[in-house]
């Protein structure tokens, strides 16, 4: 039973100041929400002190959207979990444009299954699927 | 650059009433937090109406912990994302005990890498690692 789709996004080589800019990170997540027609039911934001990064968690009627930034490494990661079908958002385009990312990896995972299905959206290994040995009790 | 480890947990065959019980779901996440010595910086909870499930998102200084339940399918999913090393939590044992799960799949993902590394914790295919073709720009 697939209960949702989760996208895991790794953005590397980002502008470090951008990763410390809570307003910028909020604006990116807002754009995802607007573009995909998601509905917010609550959110938590945390800016780590000094040169630290930003954490944002947004609860959606469709599940959740999360971001953590690591300015010290030039890395941001995102999770978008949707329990209903949504189009692909162009993470690579927007994170390159808005965070200066030099490399964006987007991986899609189906949730709720006892076999683990992942798809890398820029990979030639598309729709890789393997059954987990021992996954059933 | 690995910036964190994320565990994706799929629990199937759960007791449907338990999946609608916000206090029970909160107590499970609290136990994870206590057992692993995690520190909460904020949280959002949402109980869907009627026979609906529960969403919980907890922001941690170590990243986040999330849960979504689907009583109609007997499924709960969890995400635990930690940006510092933490021991394994025995999801299978506790979710079998506390939610009556008949099947628990735990998958560990390294975040922040341009190659995607996953490990299924009950699999004979351990430490599966593959490089994503086309992952570098």
Inform me whether the pLDDT recorded for B51 exceeds 90. yes
Q: Where are the beta strands (DSSP E) in A61-134?
A: 63-70, 75-82, 103-111, 116-120, 129-130
Residues 46-85 of A with CB under 8 A from B: 46, 48, 55, 57-59, 61, 63-64, 66, 68, 70, 73, 75, 77, 79, 81, 83
A56 and A78 in contact (C-beta within 8 Å)? no
d(CA A12, CA A14) in angstroms, rounded, equals 5
Contacts B137 to A, Cβ<8 Å: 102-104
d(CA B24, CA A47) in angstroms, rounded, equals 30
- ipTM, interface predicted TM-score of the complex: 0.86
- Mean pLDDT (chain B, rounded): 87
User: Among A75-79, A84-88, B45-49, B70-74, where is mean pLDDT lowest?
Assistant: A84-88
Dump pLDDT digits (tens) for A15-62.
999 999 999 999 999 999 999 999 999 999 999 999 999 999 999 999
Dump pLDDT digits (tens) for B57-81.
999 999 999 999 999 999 999 999 9
At B38, the pLDDT band (50, 70, 90 cuts) reads very high
Mapped onto helix, strand or coil, the DSSP state of residue B97 is helix
Judged by CB atoms closer than 8 Å, whether chains meet at B59 and A46 is answered as yes
Residues 9-48 of A with CB under 8 A from B: 10, 12, 41-46, 48
Residue in the structure block whose two tokens are 């994320």: B6
Mean pLDDT along residues A70-92: 94
**A107: exposed, middle or buried (Cβ count in 10 Å: 0-12, 13-18, 19+):** buried
**B124: exposed, middle or buried (Cβ count in 10 Å: 0-12, 13-18, 19+):** exposed
Q: What is the DSSP string of A22-73?
A: HHHHHHHHHHHHHHHT--EEEEEEEE-STT--EEEEEEETTEEEEEEEETTT
**CA A38, A6, A31, B110 torsion-angle sign:** positive
Of B48, B122, B130, the CB nearest to A135: B122
- Residue positions counted in chain B: 137
């Amino acid at each position: 039973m697939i209960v949702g789709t989760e996208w895991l996004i790794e953005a590397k080589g980002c502008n470090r100041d951008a990763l410390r800019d809570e307003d910028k990170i909020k604006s990116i997540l807002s754009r995802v929400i607007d573009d995909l027609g998601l509905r917010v039911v609550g959110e938590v934001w945390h800016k780590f002190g000094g040169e630290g990064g930003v954490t944002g968690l947004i609860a959606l009627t469709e599940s959740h959207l999360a971001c953590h930034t690591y300015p010290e490494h030039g890395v941001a990661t995102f999770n978008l979990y949707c329990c209903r079908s949504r189009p692909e958002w162009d993470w690579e385009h927007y994170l390159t444009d808005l965070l200066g990312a030099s490399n964006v990896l987007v991986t899609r995972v189906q949730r709720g299954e006892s076999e683990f299905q992942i798809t890398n959206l820029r990979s030639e290994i598309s729709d890789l699927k393997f059954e987990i040995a021992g996954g059933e009790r």
